[in-house]
Amino acid sequence: MFCFTQCMQLILLNNSCVTNLHYIVNKESQNKNMGTVIITGGTGLVGKALTKLLIEKGWQVIVLTRKIPAGSNHPKITYALWNVKEKTIDIAALQKADYIIHLAGAGVVDKRWSNEYKKEIRDSRTQSSALIIDALKKNDNKVKTIVSASATGWYGADMESVTAKGFIESAPPAPDFLGETCRLWEESIDAAVAIGKRVVKLRTGIVLSNEGGALAEFKKPLRFGIASILGNGKQMVSWIHIDDLCRMYAEALQNPALNGAYNAIAPNPVSNKILTLELAKIARGKFFIPMHVPAFVLKIMLGESSIEVLKSCTASCEKIRQAGFTFLYPSIEAALLQLCKH
C-alpha cells in the first residue's frame, strides 16, 4: 500500500497507528507437538501473525527468509535462508518440515508496476515455488502438504455474468496482469501434486490487520478526521480478518480433506464506501468528514496498480464454508470492531 500512502500524502500528513493483534489461544494446545512447518515469507504481515498462531497451537515453525532477523530467540521459531535468484535453499531445514506454507513474494502494491517490478512480482512467486519443489524432488523429505497463498486477483473485476454470490473457484483466471500472475503462481505450486504432496491454495482477498496492509492505510486519514472513499466507493472489496485467514491456513494444514483452491475471504464483501464509513464510525463516532479521492488522482499517483483499489471484486467463500470452516469475523462490523478495540 506504499503507493496509496504516497497519494494520501498529497492530502494529509502521514501517520501510523499500529496496535497488537488479538488471538484466541487454546491453552491446552500450547504444550502439544503438532509437527514442524516451514513458512516462506514468514517475516511478512500474514507470516508473522500465522507464526504466532501456529506456535500457540503447538507447532514448531521454521521461517524461510532472505535475511535472518536479529534478536529472535523463541524456542519454537527458527530461521533458515534461501535465495530464489541464486536457487539456494537450506536443505536441512526442508528435511525437518512436515508441512510448508508458501507466502513469499514481492509486495503487489509496494511499488509502481514497471515491467521490471511486474516481473519481480511474478518471478518471486513462481521461481520460489519451483525452487522448493526441485529441492523436494532431489532430497529425502517428509513434507505431506504445501499450502500456498494466492489471491482473488485471479478473478479480475466483477462481471454481470457472475451471480450475486460472487466468483467461485472454478472461474477461469482473468486475462490481465494479476489474473495471469495468479495462474502462473498456482501452476508453479501445483507441480508438487506430481511428487505426491497435497496442495492447497488460498485465494486471499484484502487482509484486515492492525499490523499493516490495507487497514493501516485506511486508518491514516482518520487520524485527521477524514474518511477517504476511493473513487466512487462503489467497488466491492472481498476482505478477510487476519485471524480468520491464519485459522484457515491452520485448518488447511490439519484437514486432509482440503485440496486445491479456496477463496480466503469473509462471507460478506462490502463496497469501499461502506468499509470506509464503517471504520470511520467505529474509530471516530460522528466526528469525521467523508471525502472522495477521485479515480483520476489515484490513477496518476498509482499508475496501473490503481486497478487494485478501484476494481470491484466479489468472491464467494462457500467452498471453504462447505468444507466446515467457520468465520470468527463474518461481517465487516465485527471485524472492524475487534480491530479497532486493540
Ligand X SMILES: NC(=O)c1ccc[n+]([C@@H]2O[C@H](COP(=O)([O-])OP(=O)(O)OC[C@H]3O[C@@H](n4cnc5c(N)ncnc54)[C@H](OP(=O)(O)O)[C@@H]3O)[C@@H](O)[C@H]2O)c1
| CA distances (Å), origin 163, targets 244, 310, 314 | 25, 20, 9
- CB count within 10 Å of CB 141 equals 18
Three-class DSSP category at 209? strand
Nearer to ligand X, 19 or 72 (CB): 72
> Kindly report the CA angle at 281 between 277 and 282, in degrees rounded to 5?
120
What sections of 57-114 are H helices per DSSP? 91-96
Among candidates 33, 51, 32, 55, which has minimal Cα distance to 42?
51
Among candidates 268, 271, 278, 275, which has minimal Cα distance to 234?
271
Least spacing, CB of residue 40 vs ligand X, in Å: 7
Least spacing, CB of residue 1 vs ligand X, in Å: 9
Which residues contribute to the site for ligand X (CB under 6 A)?
A: 41, 43-47, 65-67, 84, 103-108, 120, 124, 128, 149, 151, 204, 206-207, 213-214
Least spacing, CB of residue 82 vs ligand X, in Å: 8
Nearer to ligand X, 173 or 288 (CB): 173
Least spacing, CB of residue 128 vs ligand X, in Å: 6
Least spacing, CB of residue 91 vs ligand X, in Å: 18
Least spacing, CB of residue 72 vs ligand X, in Å: 12
| CA distances (Å), origin 217, targets 156, 221, 278 | 23, 8, 15
Nearer to ligand X, 38 or 46 (CB): 46
What nine digits make up the cell of 270? 462490502
Nearer to ligand X, 239 or 288 (CB): 239
Angstrom distance (rounded) from CA 224 to CA 202? 36
Least spacing, CB of residue 250 vs ligand X, in Å: 15
Among candidates 258, 226, 237, which has minimal Cα distance to 335?
237
CB 331 within 8 Å of CB 268: yes
Question: By beta-carbon distance, which residue lies closest to ligand X?
Answer: 44
Among candidates 265, 258, 269, which has minimal Cα distance to 242?
265
Nearer to ligand X, 84 or 191 (CB): 84
Nearer to ligand X, 7 or 108 (CB): 108
Least spacing, CB of residue 288 vs ligand X, in Å: 24
Angstrom distance (rounded) from CA 328 to CA 324? 13
Nearer to ligand X, 100 or 288 (CB): 100
Nearer to ligand X, 69 or 196 (CB): 69
Amino acid at the residue 271 = S
